[in-house]
Amino acid sequence: MNDAHLHLQDERFKDTESLIAEMLESGVKRCVVNGTHPDDWDRVQELSTKHPDLILPSYGLHPWQTPAADDNWKSKLKELVKDSPQHCIGECGLDRWIENPDKAAQEDAFLFQLELANKYNAPLSIHILKAWGWFTDLLRTHSFPKRGFLLHSYNGSAELIDELVKHGAYFSFSGHFLHDKKAKQLDVFKRIPLNRLLLETDAPDMLPPVSVVSHKIQDTPQLNHPANIHSIAEHLAKHLKIEFDKFSSLLDSNFNHFFLTR
């Protein structure tokens, strides 16, 4: 099983190496570690250099971090991406859910990262929250990478799926959508074309319901353990009424196609 989006560099993880050992033991094959701010990119790079078979590094400026970033982030990102052949770009995106979003700064940061992803035809991980009209406006007026792009933890409506697919979207399902209160989003995922589906933990966030949690993090059970990805896959396969082995190889081939085919 592969994890399309998580944050192993997160400082809330106190013992990352043990966590990685547990991921490998559980059978996680690859994961995409998303930086969110220039201050954590070095850590992402360090982890991916140490575990090149497991970790694909992704570098980006998260829309929550745009106010905190000084102007140098753009040149730093350009350099990083140029030097790292397996890089992905993100987490980037648009967010009107946070208090007082600076829309102009968010859009500028997003378009810069989009342009870089276009230049390298790199996998791009996008976060959109309460900003679907804004995003589809940009989708209609800008070019997006030929390989497509990932809408991480897709929280948009079923009505948008066709247009997003037409423009190359992949959609990743997070274990958080298995909570009863998220039943509507689980239904949305039943309508996503199977060849565009990916799976993520977004660890340490997006903790799935207790019934889905197979791995806990000692002392901080409120955090999501990345080895929960297998259990998330099993539960989603049941909801989609697909036999697990078939589902698992389908997810593998989507992951390889989107992230690894260069």
Residue with smaller CB distance to Zn ion, 174 or 254: 174
Residue with smaller CB distance to Zn ion, 91 or 95: 91
Residue with smaller CB distance to Zn ion, 197 or 237: 197
Cα dihedral sign for 217, 34, 245, 179? positive
User: What is the tally of helices (H) and strands (E) in the chain?
Assistant: 9, 8
Select from 116-124, 180-188, 201-209, 222-230 the region that touches Zn ion (CB under 5 A): 201-209
CB of residue 62 to Zn ion, shortest distance in Å: 7
CB of residue 205 to Zn ion, shortest distance in Å: 7
Residue with smaller CB distance to Zn ion, 93 or 148: 93
Residues 57-96: x/- map of binding to Zn ion (CB under 5 A)?
Answer: ----------------------------------x-----
Angle at 257 between CA 47 and CA 16, to 5 degrees: 20
Residue with smaller CB distance to Zn ion, 51 or 152: 152
Helices (DSSP H) in 51-170: which residue ranges?
73-83, 103-120, 132-141, 161-166
C-alpha 205/C-alpha 95 separation (Å) is: 17
CB of residue 152 to Zn ion, shortest distance in Å: 6
Structure tokens at 155: 């929280």
Residues contacting 170, CB < 8 A, separation 6+: 4, 148, 149, 150, 151, 196, 197, 198, 254, 258
- Say how many residues touch Zn ion, by CB under 5 A: 2
Structure tokens at 19: 């966590």
Residues 140-159 that bind Zn ion (CB under 5 A): none
Residues in touch with Zn ion (CB under 5 A): 91, 202
